[in-house]
Amino acid sequence: MNEFWSFITERYPDILLALRQHLTISFSAVILGTIVAVPIGILLVYNRVGWINSAVFFIANLFQTIPSLALLAILIPLLGIGVKPAILALLLYSLMPILRNTYDGFQSVDKGVLNSAKGMGYSAAQTILKIQLPLSLPYIMSGIRITTVYIISWATLASLIGAGGLGQLIVSGLGVNKPEMIFIGGIGAVVLALVADGLLGLLEGWLT
């Protein structure tokens, strides 16, 4: 235990740097994934060509099936090593949950409510922004929360391509046989995921 606290005292600048890198990679991927997936999910609700919906969901689901290390390795020849390929890989992983929940949330809105809005003269944009989006927000936020927890976990692998983060502590700890480094990196990712989920839960409650 003394070694554990000594490590934190001596190396806290490195720990804070790893935490900051992890936050940057994770939340950049989630924010960009949300910006991409939510509009696409809305567009699919209004799409009348069935095969397009199937194709989009197939592609988004395909990214989920690729092992994390394999996807990172595929992106290295395209983007090199570092933060950019890590964010892109995590962004691709974030698409499916947010896309699916957005689509299901909009589809769950009662048709009678939509017909009432149409009868009141609401345009398509007004219906989306004032009725469908608020009513489907719990679905969307659920997708974002699930995605955030997964992305924070998967981001530990970003250290393998030089992106840093809490995974760097784990890898370095394994390399020099320092259990305290492994513990700090692992427990740090767990605590970060729990805190992020709690904060997003509070945001969801405020928004709804």
- Measure the CA–CA gap between 90 and 32, rounded to whole angstroms: 10
Contact between residue 165 and residue 159 where contact means Cβ atoms under 8 Å apart: yes
pLDDT tens per residue, range 86-110: 999 999 999 999 999 999 999 988 8
Cα separation, 129 vs 144, whole angstroms: 19
The pLDDT assigned to 2 comes to 65
CA distance 116 to 37: 28
pLDDT on residue 183: 86
pLDDT of residue 13: 83
For helices 83-107 and 50-65, give the axis angle rounded to 10 degrees: 140
pLDDT of residue 3: 66
Provide CB contacts within 8 A for 96, sequence distance 6+.
Answer: 57, 60, 61, 63, 64
**pLDDT by 10-residue block (mean), the chain, 208 residues:** 70 85 93 94 86 90 85 85 89 92 90 84 84 90 92 88 86 83 87 91 82
Q: What is the pLDDT of residue 46?
A: 87
pLDDT for res 116: 87
Distances (CA, A) of 6 to 3, 10, 180: 5, 6, 10
Q: What is the pTM of this model?
A: 0.88
Q: Which long-range contacts (CB under 8 A, 24 or more apart) does 202-207 make?
A: 203/141, 204/137, 204/138, 204/141, 204/142, 204/145, 207/137, 207/141
Residue 149: the pLDDT is: 92
